Amino acid sequence: MNHLQHYLTKLAEEGSEVAQIALKTQQFGPGEVMPGQPLNNFERCHLELDDLWAMVEELNEKFGFGYAPNRERMEAKKAKVRKYLGFSIHLGMVEGETDVCEHPMALPANTGDQGRR
């Protein structure tokens, strides 16, 4: 394993840790504090996001990874998640009300995302 491979492994590891604490926060709530831990779940999410971002910076600085947040892609992703949230509400899988009544891919205003969520 070379150094790039090592840092990519750490990137994946931190991504997994973000997933783990996000799921724990979903289960136990943002303010819950695990016994023996000084931080609540939202704060623990912040720590893991910092860890992930640190690995992105290392990849940028050491290996020319070249990552910078892209506002346009981020806004597109947010819109896509909102669209599929409406469909999840329609299916009864998420609480709330929506005017969505069919699969987003069936809508005429399909933006060509081909179902990637």
The minimum distance between CB 46 and Mg ion, in angstroms, equals 11
The minimum distance between CB 17 and Mg ion, in angstroms, equals 4
Considering only residues 31-50, where is the footprint of Mg ion by CB under 5 A? 48
Q: Does 17 bind Mg ion (CB under 5 A)?
A: yes
Q: Which residue(s) pair with 40 in the sheet?
A: 33
User: Is 45 or 87 the residue whose CB approaches Mg ion more closely?
Assistant: 45
Distance CA 59, CA 80 (A): 28
User: Is 32 or 51 the residue whose CB approaches Mg ion more closely?
Assistant: 51
Inter-helix orientation angle 41-63/3-28, to 10°: 160
Distance CA 4, CA 78 (A): 30
| Binding positions for Mg ion, rule: CB under 5 A | 17, 48, 51
